[in-house]
Structure 1
Amino acid sequence: MEEPNNRKTYYADADEASHIYLLPNSLTAGNLFFGFLAILRCIQANYASDPALVSQYFSQAVWFILFSVVCDALDGRVARLGGRESLFGKEFDSIADIVSFGVAPTLMMIFLILSPTEQYPYFLQIGWLIGFVYLLCASVRLARFNVLTNPLLPPSKLNRANKDFMGLPVPAAAGMIASLVLVLNSLDLRSWALLMPPLMLAIAILMISNIPYPSFKEIGWQTSTRFRTFIYLIIALGVAFVFRELFFALSFFVYIIYGPIRYSYRVYRAKKRTLRMSVKNM
């Protein structure tokens, strides 16, 4: 049995649209709280003089961002499960996302490249510019999502928006950046931090692209699965716990490249189908 489809197509008045439902909005507040803590840890890492303390602060900031990802994944599901969606909740969620998945990763990248670029101020300025581009694209991506999921859109458009995300989701973008920082810290490879700006630029482009990414919204709390799939999931969770630094980075990376690969394959099949039809009509 799938999650019930309790999406409202209209609201009676402003009071109904601005309802603050406790559980889903508490999770959104948790998302914002962890994003705030991540920003604080990034600032503390920038002013810390002990390298071990710097690494510790950055690692904590990464985990706070990942906790924000978990809260963001749960708040919408909880709201849909109980039929407690509201326009207030959607706008609140976007504001929390821009803090946790926009500002926090940008500050993390800028503070990470400060030390390697001390003798190259132009590189640092380029990093700042890329950080702003990432933040801008994250904001545009969230605004576009709110438009595509607006209750005033026709049901067919809403169903399409619910099945796939248009462009790389902002939480996945931030998760990739954060998990990569976790790998750099755990392997003492902070000198490789200069790879962060190009990565953020590529991710920013994917966020505002039209490439569809799976939303997994059809997977609900009561979604049934095969026993073998359940066992694989438990094993994957065990591997994730043991190799958590590499597992998160690899998982986000696979998700990010899956979108362009699937999109390219669909375009190839569509062109091949069109060519086959044109040959038949000759």
Structure 2
Amino acid sequence: MRVSLLQMNVGLAREAENTATLLRLAEDAMRNKSEHPDVLVLPELWTTGFYPRPIKAHADPSGARARRVLAALSSRFGVNVVGGSVARLEGGKAYNTCYIADRSGAIIASYDKCHLFTPSGEDHDFTAGDRLVTFALDGVSCAVAICYDLRFPALFSALARAGAEVLFLPAAWPKVRLPHWRVLLRARAIENQIFVCACNAASKDRTLGGHSVLLDPWGESLGEAAGTEAIVTADLPLARRRSVKEKLDIFDDWREALYQKPPVSCTPLRKES
């Protein structure tokens, strides 16, 4: 599976400009027919940026505009698209939603960001999702999480235990927290023995961190961008994951029932006289 991460410069409240940027980068990624990617990945909130207020004034009703763009893009090039995320307006509420399009242009899955970034007030402006999703791209079991979800390892272990081999992570991660970005991504790849394809946004004012990266199940980089707008492409050697799990499959030793038990609070032992 060949994956291209489209590390876009995303402008705040500039949907038309951002859409034009997406189409330009997608055309660049698909230009060499002999090296076409199988999957294009977009960053978080690529239509609006993270994020203009009030977000409901900028949100996409039912995600219709974004779905049209993604469906047209995937069918035009015959490529799978992990559509980053967009602000979706539904029933008077805003959701941070990722759409997945297959090669035919069909929207085959959607995911609403489950962990909203409370320090920025995202939890006041958006409604959190309440379900995890997996889906197949070209017969490969995949999953998606969004940005701040990265800090919650239980989400990733649940997806890996459900059979996900490749995890896509659209993000709008700030430059100031890039050290966390690097460590957390490697940890999620290693501890779950999965490929992680993380597409971060960039910005002209350099507040967003870029450094989109593709990691193998050992946490080794298959390709990484710098901090500016870029396309990073790499082949995911899927057989490598099988090799890793033949040597050491941590889920063979997983003890879910134990983890659900409350820890025992120990008291100091009385000194022997």
Q: TM-score range by the shorter chain?
A: 0.3 to 0.5
Larger radius of gyration: 1
TM (norm. structure 1) is 0.34
RCO higher in 1 or 2 (8 Å CA, sep ≥ 6)?
Answer: 1
TM (norm. structure 2) is 0.35
Higher helix share: 1
